[in-house]
Every structure is written in C-alpha cells, then in structure tokens.
Amino acid sequence: MVGGFTGQILNVDLSTGKHKVEALDFQLARKYLGGRGYAAYLLYRNGAHVEPFSPESVIVLSTGPLTGLPGTGSKFVMVTRSPQTGLFLDSYSGGHMSAEIKYAGYDHIVIGGRCDRPSYLWIDDGRIEIRSAAHLWGKSSYDTETTIKKELGDPAVRVMSIGPGGENGVLYACVSTDYYHQAGRGGMGAVMGSKNLKAIAIRGSQGVKVADGQALLNLMRNEMEEAFEQSEFGANRIRYGTTYTTVSTPVLGIMPTRNFQSGVPENIEGLNCFTMREKLVVKDKACFGCQIPCLKYSVVTYGDGAGTKLVGPEYETIALLGSNVGVYDIGLVAKANLLCDLNGLDTISTGNTIGFAMECYEKGLLTKEDTGGLELKFGDHNMVFTLIDKIAHRDGIGDLLADGVMRAAEKIGKNSSNYAVHVKGMEIPAYDPRGAYAMGLAYATASRGGCHRRAKPVEVPRLSADQYSQFGSRGNATLVKRLQDFREVVHSALVCDPALRFGFEATLGTMSRLFKYTTGWDMSEDELRTLADRVDTLIRVFNVREGFDRKDDRLPARFLKDPLPSGPAKGKVVDAESMETMLTEYYTLRGWDDRGVPTRDTLHRLGLDEIAGDIA
C-alpha cells in the first residue's frame, strides 16, 4: 500500500441501490495523484456527451493523498459535467467532510444512476445504505443536516446536502457541507437534485497511513511552523480571511460594482474587512487539519440583517451580493449570504445574476410585466432577499434567473447579452479584468468557465515588468500557466491552496517533500510540473470532446466594449489584440494548437496517447 491513499474507490448506483468497491490503480495515482486529477480521469472514462441531468451522469467525490493529514488544511472536490456550462466541473469545499471520506476508507466515491424517490446516501465505513429523504425534500440545507444527524444519532456524522435550489434544478445550485461550507459553482447541487439525492452522510473510523510519519510531523512542526510564524500573509489571513481582498481590489478599481458597470465601489467602508471584523466577527474557525483559522463566524446584531449567524461572508460574496447589487452594509450582505446557503445557491452566480437583472430593469429590458410587479433597483436589499427566494423556487421572475445570465439574456433578447457577465455560461466572480488583463486570460482559459480558482494573477508578489503586464500581454501567459499548474498539484493533492500559499508560501519543492513523506514517492518538481500539465490537458481534451475550443475562450462583451468609468483603470477595456496575443502564447506554452486543441505530440509527451483519437 502506498501511503496517503486508502486504495479504494466506492461506486454507488442509485438506480439499483447496489454498490461495489474497486481497487485504486496506483499507476494512475502516480499519473494523476488524486482529487481533481484522478477525478478527471474517472469522469473522462464515463464517456462523452453525457447529459448532466440524466441517470448516466456521475458525480465523483474525491480526496487526495494529503487530505486528512494535519497541518495544511483539507478539502474535497466534487466533479461532474456541469449543467450550467456543459464543461468539466470541479467544485471544492472545506470543512471536515474531506477527512471523513478518507477515514471511511475511500479515496474516491463515484455516484451514478437516479433514485426513484427523494433519498439520501448513508456511508458508514463499509456499510452503504440508501435511505428515504421524503421528509427532507423542501427543507433548507441547514435543517436537512440537523435532521439527518439526529436521525443517525451521531452529531459527529458529516453531511453534505442540497437546498430547494438543487431540488428545483437551479443551474448554479450548490452543495452545502458542515452547514457553512459550499461546493458552490457550476450547478453540482442541481445534478444531485436530478438524481433525487438530497444528501450524503458519512462516518469514518479509519485512519490514513503515511510513508514516514515522523518526517512529516517534523516538517509540519518545525519548518512549516517557522515559515508560518515568519509569514505576514499568514497573520493577515487569520485576522481577515479572504475578506482582506476588499483592501486591494477597490484600490485597483476592479471590484465589481452595479453589475460590473464600475470597478470602484461607492462605499467600500460599509463592506470592507475592517468593518466586518468590528461589526460581525465573533470567532475565527478552521477547517480540518488547518493551522490557519481563516473562517469567520459572524453574528449580525443590527438592522434588517439582525439574527443572521453564519461563517462568512467571504470576499467573493461581499462583492457580488454587496457592491455588485448596490448594497453597502456588511450585515445585509451576511443575511443575503445566509439565504443563499439555506436555499443552496452559489453566492457568486446569484449576486452576478441579480445584478444583471437589476441593470436590465434599469435599462428597460425587463419591465414590471416581466417581474410580476417587482421593481428591481440597485441598492434595494429587500429585493435581493426576495429574488434569492424566487430563484431557489423558480417562482415568477426567479425561473428566468435560475438558469443564469447567459440563458436569461438569450430569452430577454434586446441586446441584453451585452450586460451578461460570464464565460462559457458561468458567471464571473469578483475581479474585473479591465484593470488586470492577466485575469482576463485566467477567466478565458479556466476549465470550468468564469472561474477565479485556477489562477489569480493579481495575488502574486515580486513580479517584475517582464513577468506581468497590467494593461498588456507581456509575461501574462507564462504567469497564468504557472499559477494554474501550482493549483493543479494542490487540488490533486488535495489540500487548501490559501493555507499553503498564505500560511507557508509553499512551492512545488514543499509539495514534493510532502508527497515523499506521505506517499513514499520521490516526485521531483519536474515530475509535478508534468503532472500538472497532464491533468490540465486531460481536462482540456474533455472540454474539446464536448465541442469547446478557442472560439469559446472569450470574455463577455462588457469587458471588451465598455470602458471602466472611473478609478485607476478608467477608460480601459480588455484590448482585443492583447487578449489574442495572450491566448496564442498560452496555447503554445501548453502545447495546444492555434484552436486551443492539444496536439498529438503533447498528448504523447504527457502519456495521454490513449485519448488522442477522441479529438481527431
């Protein structure tokens, strides 16, 4: 047995109620690690053009060799074909579920088929059971988790569940875990809902064996602890978590405001990390095995948000449910965040979509006739609360918005697509690329659409002029690829990249040593770079197989045509020539042709010959 792995993959068929345990292929594990990498392989082998809402679709629940170990934080990933984009979808969540999956004895859990009635899956080590969820259907994710824990008689059972949004097929419905953690993006909750799968409960009693526990502990206790103590990033991360970003993006003029009409919030003091810390935060919390408690347990005690209790809001939520919809009170944003969590909606897509609807209403593209009499005005927090509920239940105007901005714009017509801010159907998060062109390349090439999780070029210190160009192309392709490759390794490991970067300022060299002590494998930095390239290219082939290529690696019209009206990037759009240059350079670095399709030579170099015929 190789350390860090359990050596088992659990396959569950919801249609028949049967399950089987398959041995992990360690040759493949060396090739793809775990997490995003191995899950991509498992999804790929499930075939092409599988309809996301069909029984034939699968959800792959994955951990990696570093998941469940102390020190670096743990995450799990859910992988499927997105109903929102048609692309490969990976959606991550922190909390404690990741370790529980591993301790139950599984590296990966593959769930296919469809239950004939509302159900939940109960995995108690090797005992697998499908139980009725008739009494849970319609309940919020919080109530579902509480009810299941009581039903199973163990408050330590870990539960992931969907809310009404997932049940009603909202294309950006999320999956909630440990109450406060969400696998948010791309509609994973809707895929669970289509399978009549309300929740998955897991209890594990096994541990994880590693190759050299003493060396691993020494690394954690000595070097990494010292690195953490010296890291200014780490201290800041603990105090403010992701909300510290409210300092940098307004300064750069790239924080979405009023549906990305501006990058300069009108009243950032109402939303920033200092205000949140002072007004809301009562406790710092950490995910399993993490030394960096960057989660903020918040309680709202004033105004229309009073009574709200949650972990959050995170930066992206503050931007999309705050400045992007014209709301400048952190307590109100927290309440909107909680409503999304309860209903099982992704806060990024929800805030982006509500901002889109408000702008359409402002411009007369949506009228009271379309909205059922509602006035959709920026800054009206009560309207934000109302729309969240309507979206989750596909009620009235909510039905239109539940499919996201791309589809809503297609139905509204009248050039409303000019205001739909998405890439490949996934709504853009909280960094406006007009003030940071490299972010535009990151969005255009992210494997799941408009996503910030693969590369965030605005976060990198020590960049010289030939490594980064704020309003040009020079250096950006190399930078974006480097950042993406680092995350390919981290997300296949599978640990938390903020914990590594902002606690330990980790490098591939650190990862190499972590793998050696955990798995026993000597994985050089070069091997890890090749692995990153392989995983990225496998996923690209998946997407090419579904019909995506260069024509789809595009930014929305707003970023190309509408200059920012104020701030440091005033007058800027993403220059089309720079974008084309960055794309071409990026494809060249990846070994993809001018259409963005991996070449046969590249596939051969990466050991992917067997899939070359799929994109001929």
Partner 1 sequence: MTLELPGGSTIGQLVQELARAYSLPASSPLLRESIPGQWRPYRFTLNGRLLTYDEDLGTPLAEGDAVTIFMPMVGG
Residues that bind partner 1 (CB under 8 A): 231-233, 236-237, 241-242, 244-245, 247-249, 251-253, 314-317, 319, 429-431, 436, 452, 456, 458-465, 467-468, 470, 498, 502, 567-569
Minimum distance of partner 1 from residue 462's CB (angstroms): 5
Which residue, 302 or 471, has its beta carbon nearer to partner 1?
A: 471
The DSSP secondary-structure symbol of 555 reads -
Structure tokens at 339: 């409503």
Nearer to partner 1 (CB atom), residue 128 or residue 455: 455
Report in angstroms how near the CB of residue 47 gets to partner 1 at its nearest.
34
| Distance separating alpha carbons of residues 17 and 13, to the nearest angstrom | 6
Q: How far is the CB of 460 from partner 1 (least distance, A)?
A: 6
The CA-atom distances, in angstroms, between 244 and each of 241, 274, 478 are 6, 8, 26
Residue among 249 and 602 whose Cβ is closer to partner 1? 249
| Token pair in block for residue 138 | 């319609």
Pairing mode, strands 426-427 and 422-423? antiparallel
Work out how close the CB of 190 gets to partner 1 at its nearest, in angstroms, rounded to a whole number: 22
Shortest Cβ 464–partner 1 spacing (Å):
4
DSSP 428: P
Give the nearest distance from C-beta 182 to partner 1 in angstroms. 12
**Min dist. Cβ of residue 255 to partner 1 (A):** 11
Burial class (CB in 10 A: 0-12, 13-18, 19+), 350: buried
- Closest separation in Å from C-beta 501 to partner 1: 9
Residue (285 or 545) nearer to partner 1, CB: 285
Tell me if 477 sits within 8 A of 582, measured CB to CB.
yes
Ramachandran quadrant class, 177 (left: phi over 0; alpha: psi -120 to 50; beta: rest): beta
Shortest Cβ 184–partner 1 spacing (Å): 10
Write the DSSP assignment of 142-171 as a string of letters: HHHHHHHHHHHT-TT-EEEE--HHHHTT-T
Is 248 in contact with 458 (CB distance < 8 Å)?
A: yes
Q: How far is the CB of 185 from partner 1 (least distance, A)?
A: 11
Q: Could you tell me if 530 and 508 are in contact, meaning their C-beta atoms sit under 8 angstroms apart?
A: no
Per residue in 1-32, is it b (16+ CB within 10 Å) or e — as a string?
ebbbbbbbbbbbbbeeeebeeeebeeeebebb
CB of 543 to partner 1, least distance (A): 24
Closer to partner 1 by CB, 502 or 592: give it.
502
Question: For residues 161 and 196, is the Cβ–Cβ distance under 8 A?
Answer: no
Q: Which residues make Cβ contacts (< 8 Å) with residue 223, sequence separation at least 6?
A: none
| Residue 140 near residue 342, CB atoms below 8 Å | yes
The residue with tokens 């050039």 is 415
- Concatenating the DSSP letter of every residue in 287-317 gives -TTBS---EEEEE--SGGGTT-EEE---HHH
* Strands in 41-85 per DSSP E: 59-62, 76-81
- Tell me, what DSSP letter sits at residue 141? H
Query: Which neighbouring-strand residues pair with 127?
Result: 124
